[in-house]
Amino acid sequence: MADQSLYEKFGGEETIGKVVDYFYDELVLKDPTVKDFFIHTHMEKQRKHQTKFISFALGGPNQYTGTSMAAAHKGMNIQPEQFQAIAKHLHDALAHFGVAESDIEQVIAKVATLKDDIIYK
C-alpha cells in the first residue's frame, strides 16, 4: 500500500508504545550520556507523551497535547552529541522491532527537523 502511513505500517499506537518502552528501558535510561535528563521525569507520563508524539509524527491521529518541543526542553541545554545519542537510540529501537532501514531513515529525518527546538535550550 503506497499511501499507507508509517504509523499504519508500524502497527499503530500499540506497537509504537512497545518501541517507546524499549527505547527508554533498554537504551536511553542505560546511556550515561543522556539518562540524567530523566532523573526527575515521571516516566509513565513521559512514555505516554512520547508514544502519542511519535504516533502523530508518523502520520497517525493527532493526539499529542504536550508542550512544544522548545518549551519541553527549556533549561536542559541539550548538546548536539546528546541529541544524536537519542536519535541513535530511536534508530536502534526501531531496528530492534524489525523496521526497515528506509523507514527508519524517514523517522530520523522527521526527528532531525526538531533539532533547533531542542538543542541549546
- Please write the tens of the pLDDT for every residue from 18-28: 999 999 999 99
Set of cell numbers at residue 59: 502520520
Are residues 87 and 95 in contact, defined by beta-carbon separation less than 8 angstroms?
no
In-domain check, residue 51 = yes
Domain that holds residue 66: 6-118
Q: How far apart are CA 112 and CA 66, in angstroms?
A: 19
* Number of Cβ atoms within 10 Å of the Cβ of 114: 17
96: annotated binding-site residue? Answer: no
In-domain check, residue 44 = yes
In-domain check, residue 35 = yes
- What per-residue string of b and e applies to 28-57 under the rule 16 or more CB within 10 Å gives b? bbeeeebeebeeeeeeeeebebbbbbbbeb
User: Which residues of the chain fall short of a pLDDT of 50?
Assistant: 1
49: annotated binding-site residue? Answer: yes
Q: How far apart are CA 7 and CA 80, in angstroms?
A: 27
Number of domains in the chain: 1
- Please write the tens of the pLDDT for every residue from 63-86: 767 788 888 889 899 999 999 999
Per-residue confidence (pLDDT) for residue 53, from 0 to 100: 82
Between helix 12-22 and helix 80-96 the angle, nearest 10°, is 120
In-domain check, residue 1 = no
Q: Residue 38 sits in a domain of what CATH number? A: 1.10.490.10
From first CA to last CA, the distance across the chain in angstroms is: 40
